[in-house]
Structures are given as C-alpha cells and as structure tokens.
Structure 1
Amino acid sequence: MLYTFSAAGVENLLRDHYGLTVTAKELEGYEEANFLVKDEQGNAWICKIAGDDHAPAFLDAQVRILDHLAASEVKGYFPQVVKNTKKEAVTHLIFPEEIHYLRLYTWLEGQPVVTVTGTRDIYASWGSLLGKMDKALEDFSHPAMHREIRWDVARALDARDQLHCIKDPEKKRLAAYFLLQFEMEVLPHLHRLRKAYTHNDANDYNILVRDNIVSGLIDFGDMVYTVLANNVAIACTYAMLEATDPMEAAVALVAAYHQVYPLTETETDLLYYLIAGRLCISVTTSAEKAAAGSDNDFHFITENGAWKLLTKLITINPLAMQQAFRTACGFAPVIDNAADYTPLLADRKAHIGRNLSISYKQPLKIVRGALQYLYDDKGRTFIDCVNNPSHVGHCHPVVVKAIQQQAARLNTNTRYLHDHLVDYANRLIATLPPSLEVCYFTNSGSEANDLAIRMSRHYTRQKDVIVLDHAYHGTSTVAMELSPYKFDGKGGFGKPSHTHKALNPDMFRGPYRADDPQAGEKYAADVDRIIAELKGEGKGPSAYICETLLGVGGQIPLPPGYLKAVYASVKAAGGVCIADEVQVGFGRVGDAFWGFELQEVTPDIVVLGKPIGNGHPLAAVVTTRAIADAFNNGMEYFNTFGGNPVSMATGLAVLQVIQEEGLQEHARVTGNYFMEGLRKLKEKHAIIGDVRGHGFFIGAELVRDRTTLEPAVPEIDVIVEAMKQRGFLLSTDGPLHNVLKIKPPMVFNKENTDSLLAHLDEVLSSM
C-alpha cells in the first residue's frame, strides 16, 4: 500500500532526512509517488517514494546500477543518487503499519522525447546511448534483478492471461495473433539469447532530449535481468509509436546501437516479434487496469499509440523488417530480390500436375499469413480479398491453438469414441433448421457433394440431377459430373445424360433482369421444364443442387423467390433439395448465417466445405433423419479421417470465433459498406456494369459497354494485375471471366475496404 504524500509532507521529509530546504511539486507515476523538488538556488532533484510492496533489495539494485553508471563512460546521462544525512541511499519511513522507502536523485534537464518531433538524430542518439549503457553494464550484476515482472518481454506470453479484458474483438484478435507469433518465433530461441542486466523501459517518457539529441535516461523501476535484445526492442517500440515512418525510426535506432554494442543476426531477426510482444504486454495491461476500474491516466498513457502501432505492424512483412535491420547492421540479407522462381517452377513443372494453374503473370511465393494479410518471400505485404477458405483469417490464434493442442494429444479415426465428434455435431446443427439433424463429416467440399448426391440417390431411387448452368461443385468424379463449369469447358467431357442444366438465374445479363419482379419465378420455370421432361421419360429428379449464391457462375445472388419455387417443384416431384453452402455459409452473407436463409427455404441436405475448418481439410453433409435412415442400408459409411479429433477441434474453434467475435454482423456491416463504395465507383467508371452480393460475397461485373454488356476482357486482367502490384489480391470469375470476385477472410475491415477502393479508383482512372 502507498500512503498519500503531500507536497508539504515531502518538503518536511527532505528537510528532516536530507537537510534540504525545498519546494515540492507532485508528478505522475505508475507505482510510486514522484515529486520534483527545488531549492532557492535553482538546484533540482526527483524524490521517489515506494510503498512496502517494493522489495528493499530491488531498491538497492537501483542505487547500485546508478552508481555503476556514474563511474562509467556514460556518466551524466543518468540521475545520480543523493544520500541522506546518515549517508544512506534509501531512507526508511516507518509508519505504524508499514514501511515506505524514499530515494532522492539529481534532476536531469531535458524534454521527454514524447513531447518533441522525432528525427533521425534523435533515434540514432537514442540507440547509441542505449548501446553504450548496455556495454557499460557488462560487468554489473545484482541478484535482485533476477525477478519476474510482467514488463519483461521474455514473459510476453503471460499477457494471454489478460486477453479476456480486451472487449473489442478485432483488437483482442490482433494481440492474440502476435502472442501466437511470439510463441512460434521467439520462444524456441529464448534460452540461447544473450542475457543482461537491463533498464527495460527506455520509453518515450523516460528518454530525455536536448537540442535534438538524447540527453538522458531516467526511471530504473522496471530493471530486470533478461534477454539483451529486449532492451533494444523496447526502445524501438517507443521510437516507432508516433513516428511518421515507424520502420525507419526503428532502423535508425538499431543501427546506432549496433555501432557501439554489436547485435547478433538472430537478435536482429527477432526484433519484429519482440516489439510486438512489448506492445501486447502494454495493451493487455491497460485492458486489465480498465476492467478493474482504474482512473489513473498513467495506466493508459500509451494505450492508443500501442494499438495504432500493432495495427501498423501487422501490415509490415516480418521479412521486410528483418531485412532492414540486417542491412543496418551489415549482416547478410534474408531477401534476395534478384533471385527468380525458375528453379522452383521447374521442379513444380516436373513433379506437379501441369493443369494446376498459378495465379498472376508474375507468380507469388507466399510464406506467411496474418489474418487478412499475406506475406511473400520478397518482403511484400498483400491484403487478401479473395481467400474464402481462410474464413476467420489466416493463422487465427484461436483456431491455430485448437489444432496444435489436439494434434499434440490425439488424432485417429472415428471408430473410437471421442467427445469432439458429437460436441461439434451438436454445435453445428444448432445453427441449422431443426429438420437438419444428422451429420456426416468429410475432408473436402468435393467429397461432401459427392456424398450428398449418393445419399439422394439412395433416398429417391433416382439418378438424374438438376444443376445450374455454369455451376461448379468440386473435383471428384461425381462432383465434376455436376459442374458445367468443368464439363462444358476446355478439356471437358460434355454433359452426362443424367445431369440436366437449368438456366443460370443471372439478373444482370440473363433473359430476366433485375427490373422484372417475377424474375425468380421465371427462372424457376426452367427447372419445371426439366422435371416435366424427366416425367415424360418415366423418371424423376434425384436431386436439385445449387449454391445458394452462385460463385463460379459470377458471384450472383439468387433472385427473390427463386429457391422457394424451385424447392417446391423438386420436392413435389420426389426429389431432394441440396444447398451447396461451401463458399457462402457460416455468416459470410451477413444478413443470415446460411445462404439458403436469404431465400426463406429449408433444404433437405446442406453441404459444407473448407471454410468451416478455416482451410483445414474439414467438410460436412447435414441432412434429415429420413434421408440418413435411407442411407443406412447395411453398407457401412466409413471415412477414415472425416470427423477426426483434430478436425472436430478445429471446427469447434471456428464456430467459437464466428460467434464470439460477431463476424456475421461484421460481414453484414462491412460488406454493405464495401458494396456502397463499389457503387460509388460505378457512378464514376463506366467499366463497372454491376455490383452485387451479400456481406463478404461480392461481385463487380466489368463491361466495355453498359448497353451491349460486352465483357471487359482483357481489361479485367490488367486491373487484377495492377491491384496485385498495389498489394491487393483479387481474382476473376463468371462464365465470361469478367467479374471481380471479392470473398475475403471475415476479419477484413473498413480500413482495408477504404484502401482497396481508393487504389481501385486510381487503377480505373488510369486505364
């Protein structure tokens, strides 16, 4: 406990114990009471009073480290200890119930660096002073500095205990992501890194500046014996906080430090993650203080800046920062910009099927993922605008931890009992209409669609399937037979006799347009036509399968009333209605959790694909009890790893993230904001013929002429390549390959949206 000390009380204490006649002024402090004191001659000191929760041995360590530095080459840059009239460095103030400890130090002139505009000279002198100090402390030691404190960056993972205090899901996810990376990248090296007795808090309030160079360093209250590089990382963190170019500031500091006290390659390579670790400690501590109701402004003094820098840091490819630090220190580069991918492409061509295509004219080699960002091997960062299998974001920390932990315990087949299998099935069906109550788990959407057709044929005793023209349902043999996109395309085998194509309900360029209120029923009539033809042949449909928003067909939302009319006709003919939710399910459409809900229908079978596992090989078929019973005909259905414990843990984690982070509502709000921005661009650029979609399932169809609807090809390819050069990964879709498809990870935000729209506007204006 810390008593309340008044300025007058401090003046009396200093008169009694130090023989000084002074005036005192209280200053802000984190854990101690701090006072600026002056005498009539203008001499100034800093008086610090600690409560009984401060160990006397550690206060002694502060005294001894300052005495050590006062005798070194960097004397004058640090406060000096002033002893009391008994020649003691620490004055014990004894109260009835506890002891307090008073120390007096000389006052250092200068402005805290937070109050001035950062310059390269400041960052360089900051690094230089820190390096000189650490070099001077090579022969210093004190047992009290071997302690455990939350501000030790080596203990950054302890911040996970406070993550729950962060209320904003996006911020919590960001901090958790960087703590995961700290675990993966730093933890394996910690035991081998150099250790040192460090100041541990060379922040922008403790670094003083005079005449545009660093003049001093104060406040040794966070000292600890820890990894030496942590001291550099902390200084970098606060240099970067308000810098116009954060990486440039950090590089200037590191280069100057290295010049006087050389770092190792490993230390420089880890600085990116150590900086992030320090920021995570800061924001989680502030969140904990806020949750506890703290009204001490000092507890939140860097909170906004720390979040701003964390948000900036994730947009910087770690390789780019490693390269910059290595270059500053004269180490070998980690990036070879002169190297191309010729050897890798040759190996791929020799040993990988040649009909596996590569995106973009200049291929990308992606080496890391970070939520909505992707990092390549050249140090570039890309915003992923199209990778829907990474549903809740690349390397989402909750999902990654679930996979790691379950993989470390058990992964085996489903012939053994395991709680995760039924737990996930129960969680999954809770999101669906009550009639959909039986689950089958597979490893891919293709496999799931294959199984769904097989089940429909068992149930109906029919074989014929109705699909939409231009549809795509996967890569298995059965799924290919359901995919006009494949069997009618180059190298295709043509339409099988048991597959029947209905009109693609395209209200932009189809026969029935958006201005026709009956478009849904008119497109549905084409399904009636097929059913009637089958009936004339003495057959009925086994199934009607349709994506509830069309992907390869052109990012097309279905017309109002379309599925309601189609489902009624198919069911009346004895067929099964299959909703392919592989691309659009799990909240992506924003206004609903499932795409079929937008059409106010309930399918007989729902097919789910890789997004339910965030790209992990997990897929599912969910159906009615009646269809499941018909499928249970005596032949066992066994899928060796469909429903394995790791996949089920993954699925549970994805559902948890969607619900706890409010990602469906996020997709609705941000998706609508995105489409509004695209429609504004449409008003400005005639090449945008149509903007459509729901939530984070968006299409922008590009045309050369809005009357003839001539597709803007190859213009769209030029646009996609230009956007890639600007750091945005987009792709094309549609029968005419003229639709920009936008299906980003669900963590894509408004800042990403604004940036994309601004760059797209520039690209379109330049054409």
Structure 2
Amino acid sequence: MTNDALLQRIETPRPDVTAGEAAAILETFYGLRGEIVELGSQQDRNYRISSEEGRFVLKICRSDYATVELEAQNAAMLHISGKQGAPRVPLPRRARNGDDILFLAVGGVDYQVRLLSYLDGEPLTRRKHLSRPVVEGLGALAARVALHLADFSHPGLEREVQWDLRRAGPVALKLLSAVSDQARRDRIAKVMVAAVKRLQPLAPELRVQPIHHDITDDNVVARPDAHGRMIADGVIDFGDIVHGWLAADLAVTCASLLHHADGDPFYILPCIRAFHAIHPLTEAEARALWPLIVARAAILAASGEMQLSIDPDNTYVQDNLAHEREIFELAARTPHALMETAILEALGLPVEELALPEMGPLLPGIQPEAVRFADFTVTSRGLVRDNWASPQTELKLLEQAARETGIAIARYGEHRLTRTELLSPREPESVALHLAICLPAGFQAAAPFAGRIERDGQRTVLVGAGLALHLEGLDAAHESGLPVEAGEPIGTVSGEAGRFGHLAVQLSVGGGFVPPLFSTPSHAAAWKRLSPSPSLLLGLDCDAPPLEGDRVLARRHASFAQVQKNYYRDPPQIERGWREFMFDTRGRAYVDMLNNVAIAGHGHPRLAEAAGHQWSLLNTNSRFHYAGIADFSERLASLAPEGLDTVLLVNSGSEAVDLALRLAWAWSGAKNIVSLLEAYHGWTVASDAVSTSIADNPAALTTRPAWVHPVVSPNTYRGPYRGPDSAPAYAAHVRQALELLDVKGEKLAGFICETVYGNAGGIALPNGYLAEVYAMIRQRGGLCIADEVQVGYGRLGHSFWGFEQQGVVPDIITVAKGMGNGHPLGAVITRREVADALEREGYFFSSAGGSPVSCAIGMTVLDIMEDEGLQENARIVGDHLKARLESLCQRHALAGAVHGMGLYLGLEFVRDRNTLAPATQETAAICDRLLDFGILMQPTGDHLNVLKIKPPLCLTVEAADFFVDMLDRVLSDGW
C-alpha cells in the first residue's frame, strides 16, 4: 500500500450499515436470528447477535481493505487457538456458502463481511482502577500472544496501517491536520517529534515479528477471580495485526493502562516486568519502550479528533476521547529519561551511569567540622506535636541548627515528614533530591566545574558537559549565557547582611529536563539516577541513610514469634502518630480508622507530659502506697452504675476478662460459663476459652473446655433470627443451655458477652436481650459479665458503656483498650463482695496495671475525654459517618449493611443481599486498596467481611468524609 493509500484510509468513516441490515445479512447468509446489539469500533461496524446457537460478532469493513489482510486476521486467530496455553480468541465462522469472507453490497456500497465467535467477559476499559495483579496479568497476556505469533506468517501481515508505530511520524502529521485547536496541535506535534528523535537511533536494533498491536484494555476480555478482580484471559479485535516491532506491541498495551494510572506513569511497570518474564526484551527495546508509548499516546489523541471530524456520530470514539486525552497528558508530561531509567531498573537491565567529573568545592569557605545537620524525618526530635505541618518549620529548624556553628544542612535523599500531606489519596513528594543549606547571607559560591551560566526562573544553572548544577537562593554574579571556569565565583547566597540565607543545591545528568526538588518515594530511585547527590560538591557525606523497612520486617520475623501477626503483606513502617493520623518512615500520612487503642488520638502532648512527669517521680507496683492508685480507682468507680464500687487494675483486656472469670468462679463456687458463639474476649487461657471466633482461632468451635457453653450469637443481621425484636428467640438458646446444666445438676458461674456485638462489627443486640438473659443467669446464682473492652469507654458516643443501650446493669465490667491510650492498662469494676470473694484464693495484684505511671496515664485519658468532649465528638462524627456509610449501601450492592454507633462501626460486605454470602476476598482487597489511598483499615468478623471502623475519638468530620470518599472511590473504580 502506498503512503497516499494509507493516508486515505485514515480518513475512512465506518460502514453505513444499520442494525436491521445486519440482521438481514445474518439470517440470509449465516442462518442466525436473535437480538442484535451494535458494538463500538473506530472504522468498522460490529454487531453482536445472541442466537440459539450462541453469540457471534458480525464484522463489516469497507472494500478499501485488502482481503488478504482480513484473511491474515482469521488465520492468526486460528493459529493462536491451536497453541498450548493460548488465551481465548474469537474464531471465524463460515457462511452458508462455505466462505470465510463475504463480499456484499449494502445501499450501493461494497463491503467485506465476516462472522466471529463472541468472547464472554468484560473489557478492562470499563474499570477505572486495575489492581497490580490485573496489570501484571495484562502484560503476561500480551507476552503470550506475542510468543504464539512469533512463528506465524501470512502475506496479509505486510501492510501499512495508521497504528503501526514504525510509521508514527508521517501518520501523526496527517492526523494533526484535523486538530482544530492550534495550541493543542502544536503540543502533540512537539511531543511526537521528541519521541521520534529518541526512537531513531534505537530503531535498527528493534526486533520485528508478527504482532497483534492492539492488546489494550478495550480489546481484552476479563472475568472475575475469587477476589472480584478482573483477570484478562481473552483477546479480541485482530484488526491491527501487522509485521512490526515487538516493543511496539507492548507499548500499545502500556499506553492503554495510563488512563487507569491515576497520574502515576510507574503504574505500568508491573505490566512491563510480567511481559519481560515471559518474552524478554533486549536493552534497546526497553529503552525504546517509553518513546513508543508516547508516540502511541500522540497518535491516539490526534486520531480521535480526526475520526470525530469524519464521523461525528461515532459514540465509541466520543466515549474514548476523554481517556485518550488523559493518556496523552500523562505521557507528555513525564520525562523520557525518568521512564527509561525506571523501566531499565524494573527489568534489571543496566542503567547508563554518567561518571561525575572531578569537581571543586561549591562553597570553598565551609569547614566540615562546622556543619550541623537538621533532621526532618518521621523520628526527628525537632518535630514535636504538629509543628511538622507548618511551612516555616524547615527554615526555623535549619536556622536553629546553623546558629550553633554557622552552617546547617538538610540531607539529600531524606524522607521528610515536613512534606507529608494529610487527607490525600496520593503519596507525598517527600524525598529531597537536593541539599538544603542554611548559611550566612553573602557567602560566596564558586563554579565546581567549567560550564555556562543560565537563568531558569528562580534557579541559577551551571551547565557543563552532560552535567548541570541547579542553585536556588543565589544572587548570580554572571549574566545568562556566559561561560565560567572551574573555581570562578558564580554568586553569593541571597539575603540581608548579618542574617542567614537558604541555598538549594541540586545536580542533574543527561540534560533535557529540570529535576524536581522533591520526589515521591516510589519514584525516588529513578530520580536519584538523574539527579545524583551533590555531597561531592561540599566534600562531606550529606546523604540520608537508606530506609530499612524491609530489613526491619525481616528482623521482626526472625526474632518475633510468627504467631504475632502484622497488618498487611507489605506493611508500611509506622513510627509516628498525631491525633487520628499515623505516619510511616517515607513521610506518608494515613488516617487511622481502626486503632481503637488510641482513644484520645496519637501523640497527645498531655499524655506525654503526664507519663514523663510521673516517671521522673516514681514508678513501682501497686502494693506500695501512693495517691495515684486511689485517685484512679475512685474515678473509675464513679463512671460505673451505683453498686459497682470496687476496681481491680490489670494490664490488658485479656487479663481483665480472665480476672472477671476468676471472680465469677470464686463468687459462685462453680466454673460453668455461658458465652456467645463468634465472640472474641482475649488470649489468656480463660479469656481464650470463652472466645469462639473462628477468624481468630479456626479450631475454636472444637477445642472449648467442658466448662464453656457457647450459645447462638444474637446477630440480628445474619443470624438465624433477624431484626431488633428477635431477643426472645435468641434468649431461648441461653435457656436451653441453662436447662441442660440443671438436668446435670451443675451450678453456673456466669455469663459473658460484649454488650454490643463487637467482633461482628458492632451489631446491636436485639432489644431486651440482656435483660432477659441476665435475669436467667442471676436466677441460677451466676454473675453477668459485660465485656466493654472494645465497645465501652465513650466510644459509642450515645452512652459511656455499651450495656446502657440495653438498660441493664452487669455484675462485672471489664475494660481496657482506650483506658491507657496505648499504655498497657485494663480494669475490672465490680461490687465489693464479689471482689472480696477472690481472697479465698489468695491475694492479687498487677505490677504495671496499677503502677503510678499507669494511674497517671489513665487519669489523664479521662481528663482529655472530658475536656475535649471526646464522647460527644464520637456521637456527632459517628452519626455523620454512619449516615454516609449507609448512603454507600444505596449505591453499591457489595455494601450490605452498616452496624454499630458512635465511633464503633462495621460495614459488612456481601456478595448477595438475600443469601448474605460473605465477600471475604473482596473485603481483604478493599482494605489493601484503602491503604494505597492513605487509610488504615482491616476486616473483622468470623467471615472477615466486615470493616472494623474504630478510629480515635478525636476523628474530625473532614477525616471521616475522606474515608468514605475513598471507600466510595474503591467501590466505584474497583480494587
């Protein structure tokens, strides 16, 4: 085909064939009748028919296309289908006359017609977010198709099509004529020229073979896996198959992913790695990959405009135009050098290192021993309370350090907490790619190497041979464009005489881009190749030590028992918190939506001061006499109902439950305890015995000791009896258990349950349940234990204790979690005579539970809760949060129900709202996706299908809204 014919084909509209005419063709020539639906296409007409024989696609193209090209497409599909492990592909179906391709005239115009089998599944383009396994799967699929086509040959492959990236330059010129916006046209042209310029020296080394050349999110079909993620396993539309560059085949796939990338070009790297693992790329192909992606993006952007000018009613083109522009914008603004480096590193291929020349000192007057380093990392002692949030903190701390000796430096490569972003779904640009130096204004800088001075906005740039020095905060001594020699003065540090100035120092290699001062952590390794450390210019090591998150995790696993699990497969290393936020060592902020331990919030200064002050005075065990234990015990007793006047202090909720059970045994002289199924109460021998959650212990139901009598849990959402008025039905199960004990002549020690069904996500007990059950228990001499470890202590907002929702008073209250805001502290509150019964077994004390420091912390937590109105905040923010979560249930079928109240909530995910089949895998994947957005969340419940929403009680409405907005985004875009 000549270039003129190629350019003429570019301007070809779709065939003018209606659905009715397509139906007539199908019935007349293929004997098929059924529902007809038009499918999208840029230059063909495609109709799907659902017939008694199955579903098929009628493809109609203009006669301009050489028949041999269509024959090549059919042959390629048959070729792939015969390969072992081949993906699903459409297969041609012959017409009644035995032909694979029909030549028909419709409305006086000649067309070529084929019928292909239809592949069930969903195109990935409909999913905004594609998870990493899906992206990897797409790369693997593209590689397998390329391998299957490697030994395919057909004369119809020698063709010229507008999508062949070997002809991207001339095709783009033709397409650009249809772009009416001159600025946009010029930008696309500029981007294309830059891409072609980088491709030209690599082109002779690029392998050529038969390629599909259109394995995109639009041309693969996928089906859900067990996690609800879409896994691509079928390839359609062989219309662009050609003898072309292998690297271009992968480039087309990667380009299609960019509109799923949420602005991050590195999103495509798993796809590239997966392709390379199956069909290895050469170094030249890896270097060519990004320019090919950019060229594809430019062709897409221009082609869409061209096709709409020809065929303005083409809804397929209209629908694609927005994401094609998104693809182009991301490709256009990403430096070629950055992506080339990232791709080579991802594939383990050599990255060209520019050997830095010998360089003189930038600041000749500096004495290394006079330098002080400022610390802006997450563990910095200079960052206190929330001063990291102030834009002036870095300057203040640098100047504070500089006052000691005259010069202070913030390190290159440091992950700065001062650059974090709260309530942001994106990781912050927190990694410094420069040195920030504070030194006296007027300090003279010299050229460390010979070059040419250029001004770039606020920057002074010394451009050398393949190397550039970027300086901000310098009063340049030379005009732009003038050459300077090594050692020659180039300017002085800006600022008023007698005061400090601030100089940013940065290097870049290769040219053609201006590096940012900061990078995101995920891009930092590639950027550091292009913007290396300027430490050499100062003659001392100014580099931040590398993060050791993986090494620390390995050390944890080596010395810390594996049974003590950590959240997430690839957990962030959290080293700081503030209010409802937690921060990792990379400078990322996370909204803590699950940490019910930090009830008053993280990093509370009053708690730090109280603990430090008391520790400076005294810390010992509770058998000594000191005021704190009397104050705290009295305060706790005052929070309980009248009659519950005696406190025992321990270290944790597990110990509190264990002690409560011992009290019941001692009081009653019996050991039998009635508990609930699906409950979790702790890890000690006794508290574990009454725990029946199979999520925490898969063998729980078969390993309970004989003195534990679990009964059906009053789960009003998915239990055998539904709704708030199901108490009599559930209480009947307790009665049956008690009657069995009566028949055996065994006495009862007590009954234990959470007063809101916490392990299931905060489900309210049915109305009157505890009143009915407590009466039965007390009738038999047993004690009623209210486990308030998770649900009590103001977290419900509407009441301080969970049992208040049921209008009952227990005999024993167990509490822990938020009591110490993370300090090990728990308590049992009961009547004096119940506590005294324990003396028959000997005396009791807990070394740390009632220590002076523990008591000071416990008192301070209660003071903070009162002074800051945290219970009221839990009610207000919790009600707002619950209403917003309930709105998600109206829009997303997966969101089955919202449980709980205040800031103890649970969102339950189900695959079917009738059967309530738990969406366990989906819940895990959703939690992982929320982590990407900066939200800490984990599943709970026996089926691990409930989000356990238990944030600090200082949670703001803004943070709650961010959580729901991100959750809505996950449910809408996928996980």
Q: What TM-score results when the alignment is normalised by the length of structure 2? A: 0.47
**What is the match of residue 367 of structure 1?**
575
Looking at structure 1, the residues matched to 444 and 674 of structure 2 have their Cα atoms a distance apart, in angstroms, of: 70
- Ranges of 4+ aligned residues in structure 1 off by more than 6 Å: 179-182, 189-192, 226-230, 247-254, 256-260, 316-320, 322-331
CA-to-aligned-CA distance 1:665-716 (integer Å, 9 cap, x gap): 1000100100100111110000011111110000111011111111112111
Q: Tell me the amino acid that sits aligned with residue 731 of structure 2.
A: A
CA-to-aligned-CA distance 1:512-533 (integer Å, 9 cap, x gap): 112xx53122212211111111
The SS at the match of 1:706 is coil
Query: Which deviates further from its counterpart, 671-680 or 523-532?
Result: 523-532
Q: Does 1:485 align with 2:719?
A: no
Looking at structure 2, the residues matched to 262 and 443 of structure 1 have their Cα atoms a distance apart, in angstroms, of: 61
Q: Does 1:558 align with 2:788?
A: no
**What is the match of residue 650 of structure 1?**
857
Q: Contact conserved, 2:399 with 2:408, CA < 8 A, in 1?
A: no
Task: Go from structure 1 to structure 2 and tell me whether the alpha carbon gap of 1:410 and 1:317 turns closer, same or farther (over 3 Å shift).
Answer: farther
**What is the match of residue 223 of structure 1?**
none
Q: Contact conserved, 2:894 with 2:912, CA < 8 A, in 1?
A: yes
Q: Contact conserved, 2:434 with 2:533, CA < 8 A, in 1?
A: no
**What is the match of residue 506 of structure 1?**
715
Q: Contact conserved, 2:788 with 2:813, CA < 8 A, in 1?
A: yes
Task: Go from structure 1 to structure 2 and tell me whether the alpha carbon gap of 1:340 and 1:461 turns closer, same or farther (over 3 Å shift).
Answer: closer
**What is the match of residue 427 of structure 1?**
635
Q: Does 1:587 align with 2:794?
A: yes
Looking at structure 1, the residues matched to 961 and 641 of structure 2 have their Cα atoms a distance apart, in angstroms, of: 36
Looking at structure 2, the residues matched to 573 and 477 of structure 1 have their Cα atoms a distance apart, in angstroms, of: 25
Q: Tell me the amino acid that sits aligned with residue 505 of structure 1.
A: P
Query: Which deviates further from its counterpart, 431-440 or 643-652?
Result: 431-440
Task: Go from structure 1 to structure 2 and tell me whether the alpha carbon gap of 1:376 and 1:529 turns closer, same or farther (over 3 Å shift).
Answer: same
Q: Tell me the amino acid that sits aligned with residue 430 of structure 1.
A: S
Q: Tell me the amino acid that sits aligned with residue 777 of structure 2.
A: V
Task: Go from structure 1 to structure 2 and tell me whether the alpha carbon gap of 1:328 and 1:403 turns closer, same or farther (over 3 Å shift).
Answer: farther
> Which residue, 790, 811, 818 being the options, matches 1:611?
818
Q: Does 1:532 align with 2:716?
A: no
Which 5+ residue runs of structure 1 have no aligned equivalent? 1-134, 139-174, 198-225, 231-238, 264-315
Q: Which has the higher contact order (CA 8 A, sep 6+)?
A: 1
Q: Tell me the amino acid that sits aligned with residue 354 of structure 1.
A: Q
Identity %: 36
Looking at structure 2, the residues matched to 317 and 519 of structure 1 have their Cα atoms a distance apart, in angstroms, of: 57
> Which residue, 377, 383, 389 being the options, matches 2:585?
377
1:456 is displaced (CA, Å) by 0.6
Q: Contact conserved, 2:434 with 2:534, CA < 8 A, in 1?
A: no
CA-to-aligned-CA distance 1:365-422 (integer Å, 9 cap, x gap): 1111112111112221111100001111111111111111111111011221110000
Q: Contact conserved, 1:180 with 1:397, CA < 8 A, in 2?
A: no
Looking at structure 1, the residues matched to 684 and 433 of structure 2 have their Cα atoms a distance apart, in angstroms, of: 55
Looking at structure 2, the residues matched to 335 and 681 of structure 1 have their Cα atoms a distance apart, in angstroms, of: 44
Q: Does 1:660 align with 2:856?
A: no
1:718 is displaced (CA, Å) by 1.2
**What is the match of residue 695 of structure 1?**
902
Looking at structure 2, the residues matched to 451 and 366 of structure 1 have their Cα atoms a distance apart, in angstroms, of: 33
Looking at structure 2, the residues matched to 422 and 726 of structure 1 have their Cα atoms a distance apart, in angstroms, of: 46
1:347 is displaced (CA, Å) by 2.5
1:498 is displaced (CA, Å) by 0.5
Looking at structure 2, the residues matched to 564 and 262 of structure 1 have their Cα atoms a distance apart, in angstroms, of: 82
Task: Go from structure 1 to structure 2 and tell me whether the alpha carbon gap of 1:424 and 1:181 turns closer, same or farther (over 3 Å shift).
Answer: farther
1:601 is displaced (CA, Å) by 0.8
Which 5+ residue runs of structure 2 have no aligned equivalent? 1-362, 367-382, 411-418, 446-517, 536-540
Counting matched residue pairs gives 504
The SS at the match of 1:195 is helix
The SS at the match of 2:751 is strand
**What is the match of residue 474 of structure 1?**
682
**What is the match of residue 111 of structure 1?**
none
Task: Go from structure 1 to structure 2 and tell me whether the alpha carbon gap of 1:510 and 1:262 turns closer, same or farther (over 3 Å shift).
Answer: farther
**What is the match of residue 833 of structure 2?**
626
Task: Go from structure 1 to structure 2 and tell me whether the alpha carbon gap of 1:466 and 1:674 turns closer, same or farther (over 3 Å shift).
Answer: same
Q: Tell me the amino acid that sits aligned with residue 508 of structure 1.
A: Y
**What is the match of residue 659 of structure 2?**
451
Looking at structure 1, the residues matched to 534 and 617 of structure 2 have their Cα atoms a distance apart, in angstroms, of: 43
Q: Contact conserved, 2:675 with 2:711, CA < 8 A, in 1?
A: yes
**What is the match of residue 888 of structure 2?**
681
Looking at structure 2, the residues matched to 349 and 249 of structure 1 have their Cα atoms a distance apart, in angstroms, of: 28
1:83-102 equivalence runs, <5 A: none
Q: What TM-score results when the alignment is normalised by the length of structure 1? A: 0.59
1:260 is displaced (CA, Å) by 6.8
Task: Go from structure 1 to structure 2 and tell me whether the alpha carbon gap of 1:256 and 1:644 turns closer, same or farther (over 3 Å shift).
Answer: closer
Q: Tell me the amino acid that sits aligned with residue 631 of structure 1.
A: L
Q: Contact conserved, 2:430 with 2:586, CA < 8 A, in 1?
A: no
1:502 is displaced (CA, Å) by 1.3
Task: Go from structure 1 to structure 2 and tell me whether the alpha carbon gap of 1:418 and 1:760 turns closer, same or farther (over 3 Å shift).
Answer: same
Q: Does 1:519 align with 2:723?
A: no
1:610 is displaced (CA, Å) by 2.8
1:336 is displaced (CA, Å) by 4.1
Q: Contact conserved, 1:554 with 1:735, CA < 8 A, in 2?
A: no
Q: Contact conserved, 2:651 with 2:826, CA < 8 A, in 1?
A: yes
1:699-718 equivalence runs, <5 A: 699-718=906-925
Q: Does 1:578 align with 2:791?
A: no
CA-to-aligned-CA distance 1:14-36 (integer Å, 9 cap, x gap): xxxxxxxxxxxxxxxxxxxxxxx
1:464 is displaced (CA, Å) by 0.3
Q: Tell me the amino acid that sits aligned with residue 708 of structure 2.
A: T
Task: Go from structure 1 to structure 2 and tell me whether the alpha carbon gap of 1:327 and 1:665 turns closer, same or farther (over 3 Å shift).
Answer: farther
Query: In angstroms, what is the RMSD of aligned CA positions?
Result: 4.3
Q: Tell me the amino acid that sits aligned with residue 502 of structure 1.
A: V
Task: Go from structure 1 to structure 2 and tell me whether the alpha carbon gap of 1:457 and 1:757 turns closer, same or farther (over 3 Å shift).
Answer: same
Q: Contact conserved, 2:408 with 2:437, CA < 8 A, in 1?
A: no
Q: Contact conserved, 1:398 with 1:653, CA < 8 A, in 2?
A: yes
Task: Go from structure 1 to structure 2 and tell me whether the alpha carbon gap of 1:344 and 1:328 turns closer, same or farther (over 3 Å shift).
Answer: closer
> Which residue, 807, 814, 817 being the options, matches 1:600?
807
Looking at structure 2, the residues matched to 370 and 327 of structure 1 have their Cα atoms a distance apart, in angstroms, of: 33
Looking at structure 2, the residues matched to 370 and 518 of structure 1 have their Cα atoms a distance apart, in angstroms, of: 42
Q: Contact conserved, 2:420 with 2:589, CA < 8 A, in 1?
A: no
